[in-house]
Amino acid sequence: MEFSLSPKKQANLSFLRFMSLCTLACALILGMLAPASAQPPRMPPLSIGEGPYLYDTAQAGPIRVDVITNDLSHPWGMAFLPNGDILVTERPGKLRLIRNGELDPQSISGVPDVLIGGIAGESLQEVTLHPDFEENNLIYLTYMKPLEGRDFTPSIVRARLDIDNMALLDVEDIFLAKTIEGGLVAGAPMIFAPDGTIIMGVGNGTETAQDPGIHNGKFIRINDDGSIPSDNPFVNEPGYLPEIYTMGNRNMLGLAVHPETGEIWESENGPQGGDEINILEAGANYGWPLVSFGREYTGPRVSERTYMEGMKGPEVIWIPSIAVSGITFYTGDRFPSWQGNLLAGGLIYGRIPGTGVLDRVAFNQDWDEMLRETMLSELRQRVRNVEQGPDGLIYVLIDEDEGALLRISPAQ
């Protein structure tokens, strides 16, 4: 399973790194020199409001969108407790509780200190319940852990939830990524695989996605206590970090378990164009930045190749990009025509702010894409995450200053 680069490919990768730095420098310079009239356009801002909203859809008829709360600060992840209450993470570092359909004014204490930065992901991100939560009350969070100086690293923390006292107990970091010093990390999605192991993404793989000694641009796989599974694909390979599960990824923001196969599907941001949905396979290489459907932010193609032997291609792509975020498969009975469909959040369409969406992707019996529908564009909000609730309805997080939790139900 070892993937190594020839001297020629190493030279190509070094050139790509150099060009990426040049592109970023040019973009910064042009941005500073450009007059106000030349700044990128955006849609006029629109408040999420109180709702409810009614919209037509292609297959499920009219839908109703209720605003459960609009008092969240840049919500990122959510997890449903056994009683139907919802844990929600806020990017600035708070863990909130939606109790009986209302936001508890008190946040849950015990969350570790979080590096707080911009929209790219320096933040508290994912929240996930242990598969045996009802017995052990364990939850897991991904966050950007501050280190010495201005450095930080994506981390997984495990804690015991004391819901009666609104507190986390026995808080413990079980994984700290080895990343580029001072480097940006856009996403750190996390999910429990059907075998009980944890899959987590470590984003920003532009320079290191093909470097087996750095976690950036990889998915990692660990046990629920942070130990390394003995069957990880590179666990005995010299030069490879043993946690690595896949390589060649860029910025990952969503994970979902396929309802029939148990495969892990992930959403991954390209730059301009080239957003992807991939199926994770142990030891697979997804090609970034050697292959891509995207363009640099200044226009040139990232790579002239969209396929390379030995690299695994995407299942779904977006051109233009939607900054694809959280994903989930719909398996409920409230929207029968959507069963088996993939729901994917989008933060921004075609690089124009104020254009977030919720996309629905339908497949045929062989799981080839057959249909795609865009919803919620009328709200003009950044759709950060989407989950199916235990009631079969669809819950959506809006990542804005006045962030919101929405509930989608059949209008009738």
Q: What is the pLDDT of residues 377-393, one digit of tens each?
A: 999 999 999 999 999 99
pLDDT for residue 7: 47
As a whole number, the mean pLDDT across the chain is 88
pLDDT digits 0-9 by tens, 45-96: 889 999 899 999 999 999 999 999 999 999 999 999 999 999 999 999 999 9
Per-residue pLDDT band at 102 (split at 50, 70, 90): very high
Cβ 121 vs Cβ 187: under 8 Å: yes
The stretch 313-318 carries a mean pLDDT of 95
pLDDT confidence tier of residue 397, bands split at 50, 70 and 90: very high
Give pLDDT, residue 38: 54
Band of the pLDDT at 272, cuts 50, 70, 90? confident
Number of C-alpha atoms within 13 angstroms, CB side, residue 303? 20
Q: Averaged over 226-241, what is the pLDDT?
A: 97
Range in 41-45, 364-368, 398-402 the model is least confident about: 41-45
Q: How high is the pLDDT of residue 294?
A: 80
For residue 11, pLDDT over 60 is answered with: no
Q: What is the pLDDT of residue 182?
A: 62
Distance CA 301, CA 314 (A): 18
Are 159 and 135 spatial neighbours (Cβ–Cβ below 8 Å)? Answer: no
The pLDDT of residue 137 is above 60 = yes
Q: What CA–CA distances, in Å, run from 222 to 155, 200, 229, 324?
A: 12, 8, 6, 25
How would you list the strands of the sheet with 342-346, edge to edge? 324-329, 342-346, 357-363, 369-375
Q: Write down the pLDDT at residue 28.
A: 40
Which one-letter amino acid corresponds to residue 60? A
Give percent of the chain with pLDDT exceeding 90: 71
Residue 217 has pLDDT above 80, yes or no: yes
| pLDDT of the residue at 22 | 47
**Is pLDDT of 292 > 80?**
yes
**pLDDT of 293:** 81
Model confidence over 157-194: pLDDT tens digits?
999 999 999 999 999 999 999 987 766 677 899 999 99
Q: What pLDDT, in 10s, does the model give residues 319-328?
A: 999 999 999 9
Task: Quote the pLDDT of residue 267.
Answer: 97
